[in-house]
Amino acid sequence: MRNLLIFVSKYNAFFLFLIFEISSLIIYIKYNSFQKATFINSSNQVTGNIYGRVNKLNQYLALRESNDSLMAENARLRNNLPSSFYADTAVKHTVTDTLYHQQYTYIAAKVINNSVNRANNYITINRGSNEGIAKDMGVICSSGLVGIVVNTTSHFSTVRSFLHKDTKISAMVTDTKDIGSMIWGDDLGPHTGLLIDIPNHVKPRLGEPVVTSGFSLFPPGISIGRISKLNAKGGGFFLNMEVNLSVDFSRLEYVYVVINKLAVEQATLEAQQKKDDQDATN
Amino acid sequence: MIRTLLINLLRFVALVFLQVFLLKNLTLYNLSTPYPYIIFILLLPFETPNILLFALSFILGLTIDAFYDTPGLHAAACVLMAMVRVMFISITVQKDGFDNEPEPTLSVMGFRWFFAYASVLTLFHHFFLFNLEVFRISEIQYTLLRFILSSVFTIFLMLISGFLFFRSKERK
């Protein structure tokens, strides 16, 4: 026993190293599998507050750009107002009123922390569960798709940016309406994404717009980018294309969280179908 | 004693702020990302007990992790670096040489020793950090490129800060 104590105290650095290294690795691995379940992240109260303060300063410096983008967006929205259309018949007006229910609503939020230069990038926004934001909601901005909410606290949420290795979003090329998936890897850089799983018979053209398909949690037709290179690496039976992203992630300031009112209904129905299939095979 | 404590506390806060609010936004060609906050561990006094050294490295790593959203990643790399520091110092420095020069700074130890010290520790830290972050062997070339370029950038910043706080009267 005494010899053991002497041995431990002689090589105490090594044992301390083991203790601390193992505990940090445990934190790291646990964090990975539980998807941000730990409290050490940027939507935590302290770091969230500090980020909020620093962001106030940065916000002032970027006033000109944000004004420009707001003006552009105002103009676009004004074009969609009922008053800017000519109503040809009164009947049509009443029909649209009863036929359409609002499916998507939007909550505006401000980006208070962002990164584009790491393998897995996250965004923190200043709206949380108090405002009705929940996990797995889509996030867009005026120029296109941004990411998916992964974690919320009462006042902040963290969003998995599109620039993340696990991103996979159902996308569509606009000319032929063919469906594929958008992914990203850190060898691509923050302005490029990869469109995969488009069937080989499709002949897309350079510069063709790519939008969300509506099979995911985003509304259909949200802009993702334009095709910039037709034959990227990989492929096989499918075409892989590089897409020039329409959103400049390094300059994100204001985003909108998409609330899909029918998402729960759809998810329940699909889960039920899966269960029925399993029961049938058993 | 109090003075050493205060200086290190101030250094900790200043380095975390510099890293999180300035250098986090800085990257060259998406390849070279500097992490000079680890100079805090480099400059701890020689007499620091091992338990304090490891605890401080762990806390420094976790603080950076809290801002980078990567719990445990920087902590693991910093603890590994503390271990390398203990071994490096026990190999290259005689114990009885310091009566009044307690810190391994550039001005005390001279350029050659400090350069070797900073390079070895930075290389270990960055190698572990980048490989743990990517965590797959298939992208090893890209990871190694990032590791080497980032290490060069970090060591460069460390040497600059060493010369910036150079006090010539301390030189042997």
Contact status, residue A134 vs residue A159, Cβ threshold 8 Å:
no
The pTM of the full predicted model, rounded to 2 decimals, is: 0.57
Asked if the Cβ–Cβ distance from A40 to B75 is below 8 Å, we say: no
Please compute, for residue B150, the number of CA atoms within 13 A of its CA located in the half-sphere on the CB side.
29
CA distance B171 to chain A (A): 30
Residue B30 lies in a domain: no
- CA dist A1 and A16 (Å) reads 19
Residue B87 lies in a domain: yes
Instruction: Convert the pLDDT of each residue in B150-167 to its tens digit.
Output: 999 999 999 998 888 877
Token representation of residue B95: 């114990």
- CA dist B145 and A158 (Å) reads 30
Residue B28 lies in a domain: no
Nearest CB among B55, B72, B83 relative to A27 is that of B72
Element (H, E) at A176: none
B133 touches chain A (CB under 8 A): yes
CATH architecture of A169-248: Beta Barrel (2.40)
Instruction: Convert the pLDDT of each residue in B102-154 to its tens digit.
Output: 678 887 778 888 889 999 999 999 999 888 887 777 778 888 888 999 999 99
Q: What is the pLDDT of residue A95?
A: 37
Place of tokens 């290490």: B151
Q: What is the pLDDT of residue A8?
A: 77
Nearest to B35, CA basis, from B6, B64, B2, B71: B64
Residues of B in contact with A31 (CB under 8 A): 70-72
Q: Is the pLDDT of residue B37 over 50?
A: yes
Q: Is the dihedral of CA A217, A223, A225, A226 positive or negative?
A: positive
Nearest CB among B27, B50, B80 relative to A117 is that of B27
- CA dist B103 and A107 (Å) reads 53
Give Cα A207 distance to the centre of its chain: 23
- CA dist A247 and A105 (Å) reads 21
Q: What is the pLDDT of residue A88?
A: 42
Q: What is the pLDDT of residue A260?
A: 77
Q: What is the pLDDT of residue B16?
A: 92
Q: What is the pLDDT of residue B14?
A: 92
Nearest to A239, CA basis, from A194, A180, A198, A206: A198
Percent of chain B with pLDDT strictly greater than 70? 92
Asked if the Cβ–Cβ distance from B72 to A28 is below 8 Å, we say: yes
Residue B159 lies in a domain: yes
Q: What is the pLDDT of residue A82?
A: 59
Nearest CB among A31, A118, A186 relative to B71 is that of A31
A29 touches chain B (CB under 8 A): yes
Helix B50-68 to helix A45-61 angle (10° resolution) is 50
Torsion of CA B53, B58, B62, B64, to 10 degrees: 50
Element (H, E) at A18: helix A12-33
Residues of chain A with CATH 2.40.10.350: 169-248
CA nearest to A11 within chain B:
B50
CB crowding B16-29: b at 16 or more within 10 Å, else e: beebbeebbeebee
Residues of chain A with CATH 2.40.10.340: 45-164+256-260
Report the 10 Å Cβ neighbour count for B62: 18
Q: Is the dihedral of CA A125, A129, A134, A138 positive or negative?
A: negative
Q: Domain tally for chain B? A: 1
Residue B125 lies in a domain: yes
Please compute, for residue A72, the number of CA atoms within 13 A of its CA located in the half-sphere on the CB side.
9
Per-residue tens of pLDDT for chain A, all 282 residues: 788 788 777 778 888 888 888 888 888 877 765 445 445 555 566 777 788 888 888 888 888 888 888 877 877 777 676 555 544 443 333 334 445 566 677 888 888 888 888 878 889 988 888 888 888 888 988 888 899 998 888 888 999 988 888 888 889 888 888 888 888 876 778 888 888 888 878 888 888 899 988 777 788 888 899 998 887 666 567 788 889 998 888 888 888 888 877 777 777 888 888 888 888 776
Task: Tell me which fold the domain A45-164+256-260 belongs to.
Answer: Thrombin, subunit H (2.40.10)
Give the range of the structural domain holding residue B72, as residue numbers without chain letter.
Answer: 2-22+35-170
Residue with the bigger pLDDT between A111 and B100: it is: A111
Element (H, E) at A234: none
Mean pLDDT, residues B65-92: 87
Asked if the Cβ–Cβ distance from A20 to B79 is below 8 Å, we say: yes
CA distance B166 to chain A (A): 30
Task: Give B59's pLDDT tier (boundaries 50, 70, 90).
Answer: very high
A16 touches chain B (CB under 8 A): yes
CA nearest to B20 within chain A:
A51
Q: Distances from the Cα of A42 to the Cαs of A22, A30, A110, in angstroms?
A: 23, 17, 14
Q: What is the pLDDT of residue B171?
A: 47
Sorted by sequence, the CB contacts under 8 Å of residue A22 that are 6+ apart come out as none
